[in-house]
Structure 1
C-alpha cells in the first residue's frame, strides 16, 4: 500500500537541518489542516497555493513530490 504524501514528508523532518526540503517538511508537520491522507499532486498543490503561506516557492513542493513518487513506486 502506498503511503500518503504527508507520511513521506514526516520522514524528512529534522530540527537541525536547514535545507529547503527539510524546512518544507517541518512546516508541513506544523500545519494542522494539511490533507494528511492525500496522495494526489493536484489536491496537495491546490491546498498549498491557497493555504500554504509557509511555502516560499512551489518549486520546493514539486521537488519533494518528485522524491515522494520515486520512493513510492
Structure 2
C-alpha cells in the first residue's frame, strides 16, 4: 500500500530542525484541514497556495513532493 503525501511528510517531522521540509512537516502536523488522504500533486498544491500561510514558498513543497515520489 502506498503512502499518501501527508503520511510521507510526517516522516520528515523534526521539531528541533531548521530544515525547511522538516518545518513544513511540523506545521502541516498542526494544520487540521490539511488534505491527509490526497495523493494528487495539483490538489495538494492548490490547498497549500490558498491555505498554508505557514509555508514561506512553494519550492519547499516541490522539494518535498520530489522526495515523496522518490520514496515510492
Give distance in 2, aligned partners of 1:42 and 1:35. 12
The two structures have a TM-score, normalised by structure 1, of: 0.96
Deviations 1:8-54 (A, max 9, x none): 00000011111111101101111000000011000000000010111
Aligned to 1:16: 16
Unaligned runs of 5+ in 1: none
Tell me, what secondary structure is at the counterpart of 1:38? coil
Unaligned runs of 5+ in 2: none
**Superposition RMSD on alpha carbons, in Å?**
0.6
Q: CA deviation at 1:64?
A: 0.1
Mapping for residues 1-73 of structure 1, pairs under 5 Å = 1-72=1-72
The two structures have a TM-score, normalised by structure 2, of: 0.97
